[in-house]
Chain A
Amino acid sequence: MQKTYNPAIHFQQVDFHAGNTHILKRVTGSFPQGRITTLVGPSGAGKTTLLKLCNGLISPDAGEIFIKNKPIGSYDPVELRRQVGIALQSAPMVGGTVMENLHLPFQLQGKKLEEKEAASLLDDVGLNQGFLGRNVKDLSGGQRQKVSIARTLVNHPEILLLDEITSSLDRTSTKEIEELIVKINTKYGTTIIWITHNLQQALKVADYTWVMMEGEVIETGESDLLKDPVNEKVRKFVKGEEA
């Protein structure tokens, strides 16, 4: 499948342990540049660990990860994390206003985020300028996720990692976020890797899908593979999720 695209990220025989638990088992595969790939699979499959490896929050115990064909270890960690942004599932916020949260990535670099730019980022994620002064405590789950995505976009990452960002949202908010992600991908050409439990979501927004189970990549390919899976394990998983 990836023949037509350069890999934005490539995993080569990657292993990861947490204590005595083998989380990722010889994971190999690529995420095509400029496309949306979803990671699906049951809880405990190692999906979040895989995202954190891409952002350099953790390192593999064995194997190699390549970002744009360069070993991840050759990147300065700070530079890597600015290029490969991650929106975490819990959408953690620093105390204060939406503006303070949007300013955070620039603050860490000793720069100032202009209000105009902050407003433009909010607009990108479908929130109006009035939210800038709002305390993050007063945001709904969907608004919080949007702010979290906008904050990640401040660094203009080439790769955006999304960890189950719609899992706790209602249908309307979920639809808004889906449209937003497609818009970011189209507008900026950002490579997106998105963990989701929602198979319909994977079919709707993603070009490609990885199915992971118990730390292993079971199947990769165009998202249509979820419609009629060949692999027996994937078939069972899809059936279970649809039930």
Chain B
Amino acid sequence: MATMAEDGLVIAGRRFGGRLLLGSAGYPNQQVLLDAVQAADPAMVTVAVRRISLAGYAESLVDVLAGRVLLPNTAGCTTVRDAVLTAELGREALGTDWVKLELIGDNETLYPDVEQLLRATEELVGKGFTVLPYCTDDPVVCRKLADAGAAAVMPLGAPIGTGLGVVNPYMIERICVTSAVPVILDAGIGTASDAARAMELGCAGVLLNTAVARARDPVRMAAAMAAAVHAGRDAHLAGRIPVRTQAEPSSPQLGLLGS
């Protein structure tokens, strides 16, 4: 029987202990972030690259998260040029060629611009990056990203920060069945059952941030998310029973008293 240790997440040949990826933005304070990271024990912690400000230059996040695998993102970028430069700056700042590629095409929905996303993926793969693109829940887009060299695809469960969960489970499941690379559900998770659902659908991992950072008790929610991802993965591997519309007794029919 496979143990969880043997069932680790593998992306681009690199093996990770867990299947939860945790964002590091929006926590009440840095200590809560650190406690949440410890509680979740994530495979990777996502970070952003931003202009420095004299006022805000305090203790480096990189230093306080020492020992964790940091995944820089290109959050907020709206052009291929900015996304590629941000990825290069993240590589320089952290010494990693892994990048969560985000290319926003619409400020209301924060939906990815898939045309630019494909071009940026191709360009970054060409520059030696291991690219994990945040994308729409579209199997055609996911296939094209994988063909372009993406190491994983990260379709959204729902728009960023909404907490709506997995709004199109059918399509997420289809992507998981057809994808040649690992599928990480990214964005939309609201609570632990959403993360478990994503894993039950066949996702290789879940990336979330706001659901933990803005929970009433972020540290407890971080632990809940880790447990949910674990449970959802186990349920996926175990194989759920078919859904029935008629009741079926679980106790034996024969030998019933008075029969």
A is bound by B: no
B interface residues with partner A (beta carbon < 8 Å): none
A interface residues with partner B (beta carbon < 8 Å): none
